[in-house]
Amino acid sequence: MSDKPKILVTQKVPDAAYPILESFGIVEANEEEGVIWSYDELLHRAPGHDYLFCLLTDTIDARFLETCAAANPRLKMIANMAVGFNNIDVATATRLGIAVSNTPGVLTDTTADLAFGLLLATARRIPESERFLRAGRFTGWGPLLFCGAEVYGATLGIIGAGRIGQAMARRASGFNMRVLYHNRSRLSAEEEQRYNLTFVSFEELLKESDFISLHCPYTQETHHLIGEREFALMKPEAILINTARGAIIDEKALVRALQTGQIASAGLDVFENEPAIEPELLQMEHVVLAPHIGSASLKTRSLMATTAANNLLAFQKGEVPPNILNPDVLDQQ
């Protein structure tokens, strides 16, 4: 019997990850593209593996971790192929001595591209006008046909000025936008100058922004960060962009705000109860919806996959994984 560690890959991932994993372990993988194992099936398969390569759609909770920690062999490390890790109970993993890693940095520009693309598409009503044309309803140019919002020179409010928020600000500079931001902690004066950012209170950002783009992590504190009170503070012409996490927005409150004209529109790549979408959003022509494709370029997804695999390889070699989230567990090994 091989003494190589056993690795479980929960979903079909880019090919670049597999040679790295196979160089040090025996890989069992979900080979069906687009198929996500249920929680029960994953819990049935995972015990007895040394390593778990998972994604945001996999729920790795306390029950799951305790079951895997009690198995033979026990679970040593989880590599999450995502920058976010709210799908994993990191506190329980740490208590059980299980290392956890993510893949930050590699998806920054790709996600910012998508966020700014949603901003442009929503402001200029591009998907709506394309559907109009494809339906054979275009009979000629008209002075009021699909007039949208001006982007050049408008005010962009960024909530969460980390890597992706800063990348969004860089893109806004090409459109001569005034860029406000709110963050848990204020950036240095040098960073503010570099990205042409102006720090304001949360309420001021909501009141003054023509476009509001969410780039904060999803935590207990940011759950429903944007709800009825916040929509009431926004301009009626405001457009909300979300490429962060769906539950940062109270989606039912968003529906009401759009229905009543409290805000003008929204561009969403993530949803509160994903993959379920509020039915009213699907019926709104002026809302732009994307199926969680923020990091979906071939280059970026391959980099995410190899980064996750290399985190596991580093652990196996006795090194500190570059993106470990709970380094204290290394003292327990």
Domains of the chain: 6-106+298-332 (3.40.50.720), 108-289 (3.40.50.720)
Q: Which residues pair with 178 in a beta bridge?
A: 155
Catalytic residue among 125, 182, 215, 245: 245
E strand or H helix at 178: strand 178-182
Q: Work out the mean pLDDT of the chain and round it to a whole number.
A: 96
Burial class (CB in 10 A: 0-12, 13-18, 19+), 6: middle
* Tokens 């931001």 sit on residue: 181
Q: What are phi and psi of 303, to 5 degrees?
A: -65, -40
Average confidence (pLDDT) over 123-152:
97
Tens digits of per-residue pLDDT, 62-82? Answer: 999 999 999 999 999 999 999
In b/e form, how buried is each residue of 170-196, taking b as 16+ CB within 10 angstroms?
A: ebbeebebbbbbbbeeebeeeebeebe
Active site residue 245: yes
End-to-end Cα, the chain, rounded Å: 24
pLDDT in tens, 78-129: 999 999 899 999 999 999 999 999 999 999 999 999 999 999 999 999 999 9
Q: State the pLDDT at residue 2.
A: 65
Residue 177 Cα to chain centre, angstroms? 24
Cβ-Cβ contacts under 8 Å for 176 (sequence gap 6 or more): 152, 153
Distances (CA, A) of 219 to 204, 216, 225, 247, 299: 22, 9, 10, 9, 28
- The CA distance from 322 to 325, in Å, is 9
Rg of the chain over all Cα atoms, to the nearest angstrom = 22
Q: Which of 124, 223, 224, 292 is flagged as catalytic? A: 292
Q: Is 241 helix (H, G, I), strand (E, B) or coil?
A: strand
Nearest to 163 by CA among 211, 105, 248: 105
* CA 241/CA 249 separation, integer angstroms: 10
For the entire predicted model, the pTM comes to: 0.91
Is 134 one of the annotated active-site residues of the chain?
no
Which of 72, 76, 8 minimizes the C-alpha distance to 330? 76
| Share above pLDDT 70 across residues of the chain, in percent, rounded to a whole number | 99
- pLDDT at residue 153 above 80? yes
User: In whole angstroms, what is the distance from residue 162 CA to residue 62 CA?
Assistant: 29
In 3D space, the residue among 111, 213, 112 whose CA is nearest the CA of residue 156 turns out to be 213
pLDDT reading at 1 higher than 60: no
Q: Given CA atoms 58, 222, 251, 163 in this order, what sign does their dihedral have?
A: negative
Active-site residue 292, yes or no?
yes
> Which one of the listed residues 204, 237, 274, 278 is annotated catalytic?
274
Q: What is the pLDDT of residue 164?
A: 96
- What is the distance between the alpha carbons of residues 122 and 124, in angstroms, rounded to a whole number? 6
Average pLDDT for 131-153: 97
- What is the chain's length? 333
Beta strands 77-80 and 51-54: pairing type?
Answer: parallel
The pLDDT of residue 333: 65
